[in-house]
């Protein structure tokens, strides 16, 4: 409306509107730079800039030699589902029930905890282990990236093993009593972009999960999920 707005914004907003209201469905081609200059009566710089902004937002994707297209954004599939007494979160089973195979890959390497991890585990900045999991769908598409920090003594490779180690460590009768998750969103780090095969402009959901045994935190993990393809489900009885 305001004619004082930069002209490239006029282009951005017009195309964005067409994408969000469905006029331009996923996969539809966006006019090329040359076409945009003619259509909106703007210079090539403005046309190019508009395309770059839209691509940066993750709404369109440019294929060199071909053109810009509205990005496919499949319906968000639930990645894992929290349900009362339904722990640990069986997201793999969830996906398998949808007919998708899930494969794992991991790579462990010991590391000192950073200050934030130490704070979360209420530990000095030592005696920790970093384990990075890569989780893939059967078709090879990446699902998530998880890094967990545990007391080094707890470095076990199955949930069962770990739980019994926890039990040994903390004496008899130790039991995870509460799981706290904190969700926020941020730009992916370069490693995450690679591992999760993220397009430009896609943010990640960062879930910090901490397992508590009474008033003692036992294990904490960072779960990183592509924000454009997945959702995290929480379900609580009232």
For DNA, the binding residues (CB under 7 A) are: 6-9, 30, 32-35, 37, 42-46, 49, 51-52, 55, 62-68
- Phi, psi dihedrals of residue 27, rounded to the nearest 5°: 95, -15
Is there binding between residue 11 and its own copies (CB under 8 A)?
Answer: no
* Residue 43 near which of DNA, its own copies, none (CB within 5-8 Å, type-dependent): DNA
- Least distance between its own copies and beta carbon 230 (Å): 7
Show contacts with its own copies in window 194-223 (CB under 8 A): 201, 203-205
| Separation CA 228–CA 224 (nearest Å) | 12
Residues 30-49 that bind its own copies (CB under 8 A): none
227's CB contacts (< 8 A; 6+ apart) are 185, 202, 203, 204, 205
C-alpha to C-alpha distance for 8 and 40, rounded to whole angstroms: 9
CA atoms of 8 and 47, how far apart (whole Å): 6
Q: Which x/- pattern over 149-188 shows residues binding its own copies (rule: CB under 8 A)?
A: --------------------------xxxxxxxxxxxxx-
- List the single partner that 25 binds among DNA, its own copies, none, CB under 5 to 8 Å by kind: none
CA dist., res. 63 & res. 53, Å (int): 15
């Amino acid at each position: 409306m305001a004619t004082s707005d930069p002209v490239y914004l006029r282009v951005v907003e017009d195309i964005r509107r067409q994408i969000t209201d469905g006029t331009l469905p996923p996969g539809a081609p966006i006019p090329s730079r040359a076409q945009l200059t003619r259509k909106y009566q703007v210079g090539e710089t403005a046309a190019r800039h508009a395309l770059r902004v839209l691509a940066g937002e993750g709404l369109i994707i440019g294929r060199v030699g071909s053109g810009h297209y509205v990005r496919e954004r499949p319906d968000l599939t639930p990645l894992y589902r929290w349900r009362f007494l339904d722990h640990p979160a069986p997201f793999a089973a969830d996906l398998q029930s949808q007919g998708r195979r899930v494969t794992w890959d991991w790579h462990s390497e010991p590391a000192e905890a950073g200050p934030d991890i130490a704070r979360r585990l209420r530990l000095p900045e030592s005696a920790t282990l970093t384990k990075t999991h890569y989780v893939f769908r059967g078709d090879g598409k990446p699902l998530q990236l998880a890094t967990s920090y545990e007391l080094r003594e707890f470095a076990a490779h199955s949930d069962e093993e770990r739980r019994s180690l926890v039990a040994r460590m903390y004496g008899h009768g130790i039991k995870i009593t509460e799981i706290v998750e904190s969700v926020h969103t941020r730009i992916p780090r370069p490693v995450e972009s690679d591992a999760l095969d993220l397009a430009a402009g896609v943010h990640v959901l960062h879930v910090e999960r901490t397992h508590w045994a009474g008033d003692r935190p036992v294990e904490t993990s960072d779960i990183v999920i592509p924000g454009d393809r997945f959702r995290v489900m929480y379900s609580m009885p009232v």
